[in-house]
Amino acid sequence: MKYVIGLTGNIGSGKSTVLGMLEQLGARAVDADELVHEVMRKGSPVWRAIVDTFGEGVLTRQGDIDRKKLGSFVFDDHEALGRLEEIVHPAVDERFREILDASEDSVIAVEAVKITQSSLFTEIDSLWLVTCPPEERLRRLLSSRDVNAEDIEDRLRAQMAQERQAQIADVVIDNGASLEHTWEQVKAEWDKIWEQVRPPRAVKVRRASRSDLDSIAQIINEGSMGRVKMGRDAVLQRLFEWGYFVASTSKVMGVVGWQASNFVACLKDFYVYPLVQRRRMGGPLLHRVEEEAKALSCEVALLLVDRRSTWRATKFYREMGYERVRPQELIKAWREVAEEHRSADEMIFLKELREKRVMTPI
């Protein structure tokens, strides 16, 4: 999954500062102005179209486009500006899409003043507006650029008011105070996005230990929808009687207990919590037990589950290769194992682990 942040704001607001912060946090940073330089390079189709439209007077002695000269042609001429944007914007948009398609980064942030007026607007997932008081923007621009105050004020007046931009923005970053204040806002928004896009941590399945007692109890109590009440002592007793595996990423979210007897693997206390993690946690758990059972020459796995299991749970068991059976449908040796461990309110789901019987059970 790729998440695209569109970063905009008026001149002097500090878009580049916020873009740099996003890059530090792990985003792929793209400056649309750099893409403009790229598509306008000497000899490119965009270069040729600009020269044909505005004449060679916009070129430097070396034949490159002089953006200051070009800007003077279009600044007060809306028709000329429109023609220039019709030439440049499609090429920039196409180049950005090439970068987007090729990128392996989870988050891409693109800085562009007029992103809401280009086709790139349809590519972004979130529009961020960087704001700053006009007087502070003017101060920054005068201190960092070789321009006079009158020219800067004209450019500021020509841009859309921050208040209007804020009406369509998903996130507004106030960059009018300290860098620390800006960083805190950017980091807070980044954390929200990263929760959506971060690569899922690998599920680890391991044997349960005493340190897992509280986690196992919680998973069984919550995963059973409160139908089973189990504390630390009860879990500890189960660990003495059954082999238990737990599945986790940063915390334990799945558990299953099992025993092998007479070439039958009997699975019990199979629970996952939160329930939405059933497939992600439950699949590796069942696979691990099945591999252990096969190593012990078990022919079948019998999964004992509550009769009140939801249809989603039943569907999951079938997806994992387990089919519901009645006790009388099992051969004698398998039935005896099931009846030894099954309670009256449990169903039996069976999965054959071997095509051929190993030997006649005793």
Residues 118 and 209 in one domain: no
Residues 260 and 151 in one domain: no
Domain membership flag for residue 357: no
CATH number at residue 345: 3.40.630.30
pTM comes to: 0.55
Residues 42 and 186 in one domain: yes
Query: Which of these three, 197, 212, 228, is where a domain ends?
Result: 197
Query: What three-state secondary structure class fits 131?
Result: strand
**Local confidence pLDDT in tens for the 362 residues of the chain:** 689 999 998 888 889 999 999 999 999 999 988 999 999 999 999 999 999 998 988 889 999 998 888 888 887 788 888 899 899 988 998 999 899 889 888 899 999 877 887 777 888 888 999 998 878 877 877 776 556 555 656 565 555 566 777 788 889 999 988 999 999 999 999 998 988 787 777 899 999 999 999 999 999 999 888 888 889 999 999 999 999 999 998 899 999 999 999 999 999 999 999 887 888 899 999 999 999 999 999 999 999 999 988 888 898 999 999 999 999 999 999 999 999 999 999 999 999 998 776 555 44
Q: Which residues pair with 248 in a beta bridge?
A: 204, 252
CATH number at residue 60: 3.40.50.300
Residues 175 and 68 in one domain: yes
Integer angstrom CA distances of residue 31 from 111, 146, 279 = 5, 21, 41
Integer angstrom CA distances of residue 341 from 165, 256, 330, 338, 348 = 66, 14, 15, 6, 11
State how many domains the chain has: 2
Residue owning tokens 């005896």: 336
Residues 244 and 334 in one domain: yes
Domain membership flag for residue 75: yes
Domain interval for residue 164? 3-197
Q: How many Å apart are CA 71 and CA 68, to the nearest integer? A: 5
